């Protein structure tokens, strides 16, 4: 204890930083050679689906302003940074021709980050499929798996001298749920069989990227980023417990088990078979998954998964959805971020850590995203900058749980926020701001928030007092 309270000291070498993504930060510039991706296309045909009818063309102009933005990484205490490569920028048609301007841009970004002594973790896919591949069936087709493998290899060849830590996919379950069981991502289908095929193909693509990375650069480390959380049942009743078990199978173990353990859980496979959802799976593909597990894991954590026994009554002929197996549970009295509507449950991070320790060989992992999206932050501006004490408190509360887990043996090596500079957030566009740095949309000016200065102090002290 100090006069200010407890000092939470993190292990030596612990990394502090943030994540962003190409489609949410780069923007499109005339003549940059970028091809259309699924988001550019969807905004073109249905702009009314996007908050304020604002699409992905401008975002936070990182493509234009990266040189000065990278300086801000240092000013906000980053020792690690996770950007993503946009497949549609590097290979505009998804396969074939490489865009030389993209190579130049990413090489320059990586060189500058390296020059500041900041560790790079580069993600290959953040919900952004080249539209040319979407048109041919997207992730429902195995063609996309082979195209992704070639794209991943190209990235390792082109940038492997500058980057040695990689991510195959960010939150691969999200496009499955939102694009094939709901309508928050293009192509907005409700088709359980397609959803299972998309999930399986994505996993196969991820395992092939792990294989390619290890073949080309045996000394590089590669991971997958998953949005993990244990499923908390509403009650101890066997029905609620079963619902929680199935929810966890679908939403976390569907990628966690094959990526880390090399195999799908038997109960998940049995459910898929029972409902006739098995895609075309070969023994050779299963061997690729078995033999190419990740070196470490990225974990994104925002909110817990709370479920109860299914509440919806289905009629013959109704489409099969997750509602057949579980219903989400809106727990009374929960703490909530009202802007995003997400529950805040810091203890979830501790539970994730303990689960990875116990059931996943205590694999090395990092928190790759955690953060708080807030609407109307200008209201908190004083003396020319945003005084976001609520964000500092949110981060501290999560770090205290993470610290407790590390003390108990969790193998977590870093904490990364979502995000660095306020950026464009899919259907919510600029509604909720997450950054350590404010983006003024009318002038494109960047102003460090109070949390940005605080984060630098935490990084330098490798801990904080509270």
Determine the Cα–Cα distance for residues 327 and 307; give it in Å rounded to an integer.
Answer: 6
CB of 340 to ligand BG6, least distance (A): 5
Q: How far is the CB of 418 from ligand BG6 (least distance, A)?
A: 5
Tell me the angle at which helices 142-159 and 100-115 cross, rounded to the nearest 10 degrees.
Answer: 50
Here the tokens at position 362 are: 């205590």
Among 110, 180, 418, 464, binds ligand BG6 (CB under 6 A): 418
Closest contact distance (angstroms) between CB of 367 and ligand BG6 is 12
DSSP 305-372: EEEES--PPPPTTPPP-GGGT-EE---TT--EETTTTEE--THHHHHHHHHHHHHSTT--EEEEE---
For CA atoms 113, 120, 393, 174, the dihedral sign is: positive
26, 140, 285, 369: the active-site residue: 369
Q: Is 171 in the site for ligand BG6 (CB under 6 A)?
A: yes
Compose the 357-386 pattern: x for residues touching ligand BG6 by CB under 6 A, - for all others: ------------x---x-------------
Pick 233 or 348: Cβ nearer ligand BG6: 348
Does residue 303 touch ligand BG6 according to CB under 6 A? no
Tokens 């880390």 identify what position?
260
Out of 170, 293, 337, 459, the only residue in the binding site for ligand BG6 (CB under 6 A) is 170
CB of 56 to ligand BG6, least distance (A): 12
Q: Per CB under 6 A, does 300 bind ligand BG6?
A: yes
Instruction: Name the active-site residue from 149, 171, 177, 346.
Output: 171
Interface with ligand BG6 (CB under 6 A), residue from 328, 428, 462, 465: 428
250 touches 169 (CB < 8 A) = no
If one counts every other C-beta atom within 10 angstroms of the C-beta of residue 361, the result is 12
Alpha-carbon distance of 24 to 422, in angstroms, equals 10
Interaction between residue 202 and ligand BG6 (CB under 6 A):
no
Q: Which two tokens stand for residue 348?
A: 């979830």
Instruction: Tell me the per-residue interface mask from 331 to 350 with ligand BG6, x by CB under 6 A, - otherwise.
Output: ---------x----------
Among 14, 15, 21, 35, binds ligand BG6 (CB under 6 A): 21
CB of 247 to ligand BG6, least distance (A): 17
Shortest reach from residue 170's CB to ligand BG6, in Å: 5
**Closer residue to ligand BG6, CB minimum distance, 300 or 459:** 300
The answer to whether 302 and 371 have CB atoms below 8 angstroms apart is yes
Where in 23-82 is the site for ligand BG6 (CB under 6 A)?
24
Q: Does 200 bind ligand BG6 (CB under 6 A)?
A: no
Q: Which of 426, 430, 454, 455 binds ligand BG6 (CB under 6 A)?
A: 426
Q: Active site includes 369?
A: yes
316 and 335 Cβ atoms separated by less than 8 Å: no
Nearest-CA neighbor of 380 among 438, 446, 423, 420? Answer: 438
Q: Should residue 422 be labelled a site residue for ligand BG6 when binding is judged by CB under 6 A?
A: no
Based on the shown chain and the rule CB under 6 A, indicate whether residue 388 belongs to the binding site for ligand BG6.
Answer: no
Distance between CA 17 and CA 419 in Å, rounded?
Answer: 9
Phi, psi angles (nearest 5°) of residue 78? -65, 135
**Structure token digits, residue 99:** 């865009």
Report which secondary-structure segment, H or E, holds 269: helix 266-274
Total residues contacting ligand BG6 by CB under 6 A comes to 14
Neighbours of 119 (CB within 10 A): 17
Which span sits near ligand BG6 by CB under 6 A: 27-35, 160-168, 406-414, 423-431? 423-431
In this structure, the chain runs to a length of 466
Q: What is the rounded CA–CA span in Å between residue 434 and residue 413?
A: 22
Verify cis geometry, omega within 30 degrees of 0, for the bond prior to 187.
yes
Closest-CB residue for ligand BG6? 425
Least CB distance to ligand BG6 at residue 111 (A): 25
Residue 84 binds ligand BG6 (CB under 6 A): no
Q: Which two tokens stand for residue 38?
A: 């699924």
Q: Does the protein bind ligand BG6 through residue 432 (CB under 6 A)?
A: yes
Q: Which is nearer to ligand BG6, 135 or 375 (CB)?
A: 375
Q: Which of 259, 425, 451, 459 binds ligand BG6 (CB under 6 A)?
A: 425
Strand, helix or coil for residue 248: helix
Residue 387 binds to ligand BG6 (criterion: CB under 6 A): no
Catalogue the active-site residues.
171, 369
Q: Which residues bind ligand BG6 (CB under 6 A)?
A: 21, 24, 170-171, 227, 300, 340, 369, 373, 418, 425-426, 428, 432
């Amino acid at each position: 204890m100090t006069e200010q309270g407890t000092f939470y000291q993190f292990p030596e070498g612990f990394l502090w930083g943030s994540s962003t993504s190409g489609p949410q930060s780069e923007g499109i510039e005339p003549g940059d050679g970028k091809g259309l991706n699924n988001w550019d296309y969807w905004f073109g045909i249905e702009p009314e689906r996007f908050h304020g009818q604002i699409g992905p063309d401008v975002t936070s102009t990182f493509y234009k302003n990266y040189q000065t933005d990278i300086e801000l990484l240092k000013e906000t205490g980053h020792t690690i940074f996770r950007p993503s490569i946009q497949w549609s920028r590097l290979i505009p048609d998804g396969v074939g021709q490489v865009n030389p301007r993209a190579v130049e841009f990413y090489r320059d970004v990586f060189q500058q980050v390296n020059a500041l002594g900041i560790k790079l973790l580069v993600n290959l896919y953040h919900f952004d499929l080249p539209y040319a591949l979407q048109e041919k069936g997207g992730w429902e087709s195995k063609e996309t798996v082979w195209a992704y493998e070639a794209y991943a290899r190209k990235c390792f060849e082109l940038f492997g001298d500058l980057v040695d830590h990689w991510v195959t996919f960010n939150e691969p379950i999200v496009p499955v749920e939102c694009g094939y069981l709901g309508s928050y991502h293009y192509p907005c289908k409700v088709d359980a069989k397609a959803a299972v095929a998309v999930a399986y193909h994505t996993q196969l693509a991820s395992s092939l990227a792990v294989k390619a990375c290890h073949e080309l650069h045996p000394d590089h480390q590669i991971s997958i980023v998953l949005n993990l959380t244990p499923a908390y049942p509403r009650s101890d009743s066997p029905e609620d417990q079963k619902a929680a078990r199935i929810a966890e199978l679908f939403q976390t173990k569907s990628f966690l088990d094959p990526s880390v353990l090399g195999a799908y859980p038997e109960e998940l496979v049995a459910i898929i078979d029972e409902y006739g959802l098995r895609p075309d799976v070969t023994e050779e593909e299963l061997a690729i998954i078995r033999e190419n597990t990740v070196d470490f894991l990225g974990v994104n954590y925002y909110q817990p998964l709370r479920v109860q026994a299914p509440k919806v009554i289905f009629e013959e002929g109704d489409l099969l959805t997750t509602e057949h197996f579980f219903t989400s549970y809106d727990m009374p009295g929960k703490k909530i971020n009202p802007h995003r509507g997400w529950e805040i449950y810091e203890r979830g991070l501790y539970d994730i850590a303990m689960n990875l320790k116990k059931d996943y060989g205590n694999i090395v992992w990092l928190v790759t995203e955690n953060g708080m999206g807030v609407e109307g932050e200008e209201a908190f501006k004083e003396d020319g900058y945003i005084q976001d004490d609520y964000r500092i408190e949110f981060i501290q509360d999560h770090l205290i749980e993470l610290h407790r887990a590390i003390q108990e043996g969790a193998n977590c090596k870093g904490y990364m926020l979502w995000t660095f500079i306020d950026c464009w957030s899919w259907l919510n566009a600029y509604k909720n701001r997450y950054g350590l740095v404010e983006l003024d949309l009318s002038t494109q000016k960047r102003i460090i928030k109070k949390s940005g200065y605080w984060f630098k102090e935490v990084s330098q002290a490798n801990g904080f007092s509270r």
